[in-house]
Amino acid sequence: MYTTCAFCNGKLDGDGGPSGLGVGRRLAFDEWKGRLWVICPKCSRWNLAPLEERWEKVEALGRAAREGRVAAATAQVALIRWRAYDLVQVGKPPRLEFATWRYGERLKARRREQMKFVLPLTVAALGVAVAVNVAAGGSFGVFVWNMPTFARSIYTGMVGRRRIELVEPPVCERCGTVLLLRARQVARARLTATQQADLALLLTCPTCGSEAAMLTGPDAAAALRRGLTYLNLARGGRQRAADAARLVEAAGGPDRLIRTVARSELTLRSLAPDRRLALEMAVDEQAEVAALERQWKDAEEIADIADGLLSSDAELERHLRRLKEDTDQPDG
């Protein structure tokens, strides 16, 4: 029985619950391999549970996970909320209904955020309009009627002006303009495929109009997410979570969808609305669980060593060296 993190010595929170360990609020488990980790709330490292009592606890977690709600998932990892717990289920593919559910939640959250702005502004403007109406004795009915649309367009403009923070602002290769990116400028960018990067975004220069610079990795993901959020607000069209989920699924998952869009060579603003929403969901989802998946792979390697699955000393030696290198360079 352990109550503190093996890496940082921090206290592992928890009240027993489904783990039966007496520790852990964030628990990762693999039903097929019978593995269980307690994720430290302080340093996020994965603590492998002792082998002896693992199986029944993993079974209990599996039952809890089926009652819980999937917050995000990759092909290998699903983050599930269950009561006060975060359950990280690894090694099992997600289902389409999960995808539909979480895309729907995201759309609802976006509408709620939008209404927080649109509603007060509309109410305030209505008050002004009524006062003006009374004072002027005339009819401003048309103005009042259009108010929600007007407020919504102010909100959309605000989202479009949001700055995209990059490690280093790109410079146009042709005219030398420094591109201080705002969300709405990403509308003219397009995805492209490169050998090295999973995600590459070609930016158009606002000064000379040529394709100016290429963003890759986290920069590309950040710009793409901001740009797509703006575009999907500004040119939403029909937006249904189920359609987006189906498009991602039909493409063969988020990675494939992103590659297909890259091959089409279309700018983001010329994509069909439902496809653009699907792309946003795919990019978002990838970013959210990619970190979790990286952590799992490291934890899995340690578990292999701890459970004695590696066959030779030489193999064990190699893994330990690699893990040490990873720890020495956390960003590399």
Q: Is 78 in the site for Zn ion (CB under 5 A)?
A: no
Q: Min. distance of Cβ 187 from Zn ion in angstroms?
A: 17
The stretch among 23-31, 116-124, 208-216, 301-309 that binds Zn ion (CB under 5 A) is: 208-216
Residue 189 in contact with Zn ion, rule: CB under 5 A: no
Q: Does 75 bind Zn ion (CB under 5 A)?
A: no
**Cα 243 to Cα 249: distance, rounded to the nearest angstrom:** 10
Q: Among residues 3 and 149, whose Cβ is nearest to Zn ion?
A: 3
State which residue, 194 or 210, has the beta carbon closest to Zn ion: 210
Write out the binding residues for Zn ion, residues 226-285 only, by CB under 5 A.
none
Closest by Cα among 217, 156, 158, 206 to 178:
206
- Residue 79 binds to Zn ion (criterion: CB under 5 A): no
> What is the C-alpha to C-alpha distance for residues 91 and 292, in angstroms, rounded to an integer?
12
Q: Is 205 in the site for Zn ion (CB under 5 A)?
A: yes
Could you say whether residue 178 binds Zn ion (CB under 5 A)?
no
Smallest gap from residue 131 Cβ to Zn ion (A): 48
The 40-59 contact track toward Zn ion, x by CB under 5 A, reads x-xx-x--------------
Six-digit token string for 78: 């699903």
Nearest to 274 by CA among 300, 295, 304, 251: 251
Buried b (16+ CB within 10 A) or exposed e, 319-328: eeeeeeeeee
Tell me which of 75, 123, 130, 175 binds Zn ion, using CB under 5 A.
175
Phi, psi of 69 (to 5 degrees): -115, 130
| Binding of residue 38 to Zn ion (CB under 5 A) | no
Q: Give CA–CA dist 233/225, Å, rounded.
A: 12
232: three-class secondary structure by DSSP? helix
Return the residue of 7, 101, 117, 150 that touches Zn ion, per CB under 5 A: 7
Question: Would you count residue 10 as binding Zn ion (CB under 5 A)?
Answer: yes
Kindly provide the b/e burial profile for residues 264-290, where b requires at least 16 CB atoms within 10 angstroms of the residue's own CB.
Answer: eeeebbebeebbbbbbbbbbbbbbebe
Q: Which is nearer to Zn ion, 40 or 289 (CB)?
A: 40
Under rule CB under 5 A, residue 5 binds Zn ion: yes
Which residues are at the interface with Zn ion (CB under 5 A)?
5, 7-8, 10, 40, 42-43, 45, 172, 174-175, 177, 205, 207-208
